[in-house]
């Protein structure tokens, strides 16, 4: 078992595809048959077909037709390159659109294989195989939607948007973790490693997000028994930052003799590091430090909202998963993260209709990390003095 470290652990996508696929396939000229949804929706049976409003495409899949068409264009080559004989129970072969629809419904609803099979007129085995083939295709073809900012101009925009939230200068991201809960057999002692502090079996997802709730770096695959601090220290992101290969851009001068480097922000569960700013944890905070903590919380709220939206849209990771394959689950989580970003990248209006919440780990208490780096303390003090107007000119 090993963590999925974003897009880095997979094969690189051909540069030509990265440049052209996004722009070309978002156009209105798609190969989707004009009557595909009309025909497919007639095959939906059971509770799904009777539920009020679920006859609409967006209600069934939580994305727009434009986004659906784009996703189909991403995976079409991979899904057609391998021969398959997927059919409905009626014997009719499943088209590419059919297969993507089945997989998206499985990931977005979190419903059982049996329920989806009954709704879409196919057996459980077909739903399972179609979903997994989609996951394999997406992690190969969609990875360009999850990457660290590649240019200085892009990072400048991110820092500017973060600063507009509550004034934090030179901030490049917000980090948070969430738990994907699993129901595992207790008789298997090897499952004890997955037993977390809240007495659940779970897998951790760590995400660094930008101001638009887009995932910029993820780590998943580690057991819930690991602390947020340890998951971070086990990540390639941590290694890159410690070696000066990430968050190494331009510093900002706050006042004469005082400057701040690029950094990300996180809650008290993370260590205070030269490139990671956490809130003050003192019991009796001064008024200015308390104000800094409020600004810090309001800014990092974007990470909590991103994870809450992620679990709301892709409900396969929201509930308690029944005995999942712990080797496949990180790849499913990764693909859900890619889909989360695609919805943002395509400015899908469906996401605007979803509730905005920051509760993504119900029942989990705040972790506390006591690790404090002295140099980092000076950086945080300079930030709070700058925001309170107390730094000398």
Tens digits of per-residue pLDDT, 34-67?
Answer: 578 888 888 887 666 655 444 488 888 999 999 9
Confidence of residue 298 (pLDDT cuts 50, 70, 90): very high
The confidence band for 10, taking pLDDT boundaries of 50, 70 and 90, is: very low
CA–CA gap between residue 146 and residue 148 (Å, rounded): 7
pLDDT at 47: 65
Distance CA 113, CA 382 (A): 54
pLDDT > 70: what percent of the chain?
88
Give strand pairing partners of 276.
Answer: 264, 273
pLDDT(5) > 60: no
Instruction: Let me know if 290 is exposed, middle or buried by CB neighbors in 10 A (0-12, 13-18, 19+).
Output: middle
Mean pLDDT of all residues in 291-316: 96
| pTM score | 0.90
Q: Confidence band (pLDDT; 50, 70, 90) for 33?
A: low
The average pLDDT across 377-387 equals 91
pLDDT at 6 > cutoff 80: no
Tokens standing for residue 118: 């009954």
Determine contact, residues 218/4, Cβ cutoff 8 Å: yes
pLDDT tens for residues 195-221?
A: 999 999 999 999 999 999 999 999 999
**3-class secondary-structure state, position 368:** coil
CB atoms within 10 A of CB 391: 17
Count of all residues that appear for the chain in the document: 393
Closest by CA to 333, choosing from 78, 107, 56, is 107
| Nearest alpha-carbon partner for 207 in 306, 314, 319 | 306
The answer to whether 247 and 360 have CB atoms below 8 angstroms apart is no
Whether pLDDT at 12 is above 60: no
Main-chain dihedrals φ then ψ at residue 298, nearest 5 degrees: -60, -30
Read off the tokens for 356: 């905005």
CA-angle at 21, arms to 329 and 219, nearest 5°: 25
Mode of pairing for the β-strands spanning 171-183 and 263-265: parallel
Q: Which residues pair with 118 in a beta bridge?
A: none
Helix axes 374-387, 287-313, angle to 10 degrees: 100
CA distance linking residue 310 with residue 318, whole number of Å: 9
DSSP H or E run through 204: strand 201-209
Say if CB 277 and CB 265 are below 8 A apart. Answer: yes
pLDDT in tens, 81-94: 877 789 888 888 99
Q: What does pLDDT average to over the chain?
A: 88
What would the two tokens of residue 198 be? 């809240």
Between the alpha carbon of residue 330 and those of residues 121, 204, 211, 363, 376, the distances in Å are 28, 9, 25, 22, 32
For residue 244, name the pLDDT band (cuts at 50, 70, 90): very high
Does residue 183 have a pLDDT over 60? yes
Residue-wise pLDDT tens digits, 61-74: 999 999 999 999 99
The burial of 138, by beta-carbon neighbours within 10 Å (0-12 exposed, 13-18 middle, 19 or more buried), is given as buried
């Amino acid at each position: 078992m090993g963590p999925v470290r974003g897009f880095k652990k997979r094969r690189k996508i051909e540069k030509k595809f990265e440049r052209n696929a996004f722009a070309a396939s978002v156009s209105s000229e798609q190969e989707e048959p004009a009557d595909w949804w009309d025909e497919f929706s007639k095959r939906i049976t059971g509770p799904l077909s009777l539920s009020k409003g679920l006859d609409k495409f967006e209600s069934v899949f939580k994305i727009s037709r434009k986004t659906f068409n784009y996703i189909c264009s991403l995976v079409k080559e991979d899904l057609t390159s391998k021969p398959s004989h997927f059919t409905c129970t009626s014997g009719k072969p499943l088209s590419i659109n059919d297969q993507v629809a089945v997989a998206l419904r499985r990931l977005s609803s979190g419903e059982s294989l049996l329920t989806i099979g009954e709704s879409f007129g196919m057996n459980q085995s077909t739903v399972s195989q179609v979903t997994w083939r989609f996951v394999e295709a997406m992690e190969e073809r969609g990875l360009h939607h999850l990457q660290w900012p590649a240019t200085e101009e892009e990072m400048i925009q991110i820092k500017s948007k973060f600063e507009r939230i509550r004034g934090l200068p030179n901030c490049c991201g917000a980090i948070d973790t969430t738990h994907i809960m699993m129901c595992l057999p207790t008789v298997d002692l090897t499952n004890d490693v997955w037993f977390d502090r809240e007495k659940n079996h779970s897998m951790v997802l760590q995400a660094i997000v930008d101001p638009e709730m887009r995932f910029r770096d993820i780590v998943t695959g580690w057991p819930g028994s690991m602390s947020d601090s340890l998951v971070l220290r086990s990540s390639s992101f941590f290694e890159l930052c410690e070696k000066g290969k990430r968050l190494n851009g331009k510093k900002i001068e706050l006042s004469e003799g005082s400057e701040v480097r690029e950094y990300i922000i996180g809650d008290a569960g993370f260590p205070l590091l030269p490139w990671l700013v956490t809130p003050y944890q003192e019991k009796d905070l001064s008024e200015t430090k308390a104000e800094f903590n409020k600004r810090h919380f309001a800014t990092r709220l974007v990470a909590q909202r991103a994870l809450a939206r992620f679990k709301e849209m892709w409900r396969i990771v929201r509930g308690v998963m029944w005995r999942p394959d712990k080797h496949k689950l990180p790849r499913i989580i990764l693909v859900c993260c890619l889909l989360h970003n695609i919805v943002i990248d395509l400015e899908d209006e469906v996401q605007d209709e979803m509730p905005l919440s920051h509760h993504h780990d119900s029942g989990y208490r705040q972790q506390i990390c006591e690790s404090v780096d002295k140099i980092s303390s000076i950086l945080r003090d300079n930030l709070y003095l700058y925001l309170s107007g107390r730094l000398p000119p």
